[in-house]
Amino acid sequence: MSPLFTPLALDGLQLANRIVVAPMCQYSAEDGCATDWHLMHLGQMAMSGAGLLILEATAVRPEGRISPHDLGLYSDANEAALARVIGAIRKYADLPLCVQLAHAGRKASSRAPWLGGALVPADEGGWQPLAPSPLAHGRDEPPPAELNETALREIREAFVAAAQRAARLGLDAIELHAAHGYLLHQFLSPLSNRRMDSYGGSLENRMRFPLEVFDAVRAVFPAGKPVGVRISASDWVGGGWDVAQSLEFATALEARGCAFIHVSSGGLSVEQKIPLAPGYQVAFAKQVRHRVNMPVIAVGLLTEPEQAEAIVANGEADLVALARGMLWNPRWPWHAAARLGGTVAAPPQYWRCEPREYKGVFGDTTTGQR
């Protein structure tokens, strides 16, 4: 059997294969509420045959949104809008759904990428970003406001409230976003965290707030449903967050019951120098996998089925995640199964499209007219 198409358990959640649809910001929400765009986008991703679908970065507070058009899970209206999307998906697809809970920190109040991504000023609908320290992300940006302990408690409580909403929605898993330069990553990195209190300075102190958020979310999300974390294994900047610190963070997370770790990199500093190439982050995932026992997800310019197969077969990671590749080819798992000899779930409405030379990719489809 193809290693990429073998099942895997994340805590009490069973995945049919090792392919993950990575979270992809769509910048198409209205006041944090999912729209028809999410219904169409997530609907086609749910038909992909992947083993797990992770919803885009979903803000736990309005000021934690990357842009004014980010998805949120901080209000009853947000919850109801997402319930409509999830209900439609559940009607036709049975793959597990995970939500990525996030707070953008100093990278909040920004324009969508296709509008340049610059900070949105207050007089144009923007707001004051918050961060561990008053250090701006961009060279010409004003500094964010430094979070005090009251604000930190409120953000922890917001993650908890969002996790409780996720549980009510019947979502199968939560991924906490501690990567790509957003708030939890900002606490981890010495480049963005210059605090002098118990949340800054040493590695132990810089990990404190992300670990507190994890503990708080794990405590309220149903037992057996996985809570994982996405990290940036490196800032790609000298003196910043690096693999050695990531390994310590991964070890601390595993000790607290973390169910999986999703290994990415970068996003914290405009000074980053990333050597982009196919699979450029897989070496990070491999190092983390050799340190911890929990499942590790590799991501980053993974485009070819054989490449993904080799990552799993060689023990570099337990799962592979695709984002841009899935946008380009929403049936990527189907085509990977055809090339690697695997099988995927497909809705019966599509069974008749199975090419003769790949008969069996959709499993046993002998029922119904062929």
Nearest C-alpha neighbor of 267 from the set 139, 181, 188: 181
Whether 182 sits among the annotated catalytic residues: the reply is yes
Residue pointed to by tokens 């597990």: 96
Cα angle 22, 24, 27 (rounded to 5 degrees) comes to: 165
Through-space distance between the first and last CA atoms of the chain, rounded to whole angstroms: 26
Q: What is the DSSP letter of 33?
A: B
Distance CA 216, CA 153 (A): 11
Look at strands 8-10 and 13-15 and give their pairing.
Answer: antiparallel
Q: How far is CA 301 from CA 7, 79, 285, 323, 333, in A?
A: 23, 32, 14, 9, 15
Out of 27, 74, 182, 199, which one is annotated catalytic?
Answer: 182
Beta-carbon contacts of 98 under 8 Å, excluding residues fewer than 6 positions away, are 52, 53, 54, 55, 171, 172, 173, 174, 175, 226, 228
Q: What is the DSSP letter of 301?
A: S
76-92 vs 149-168: helix crossing angle, rounded to 10: 30
Residue 234: strand, helix, or coil: coil
Please write down the HEC assignment for all residues of 225-281.
Answer: CCEEEEEECCCCCCCCCCHHHHHHHHHHHHHCCCCCEEEECCCCCCCCCCCCCCCCC
Q: What is the DSSP letter of 190?
A: T
Q: CB atoms < 10 A from the CB of 216, how many?
A: 15
| Residue type (1 letter), 305 | P
Active centre residues (catalytic): 182
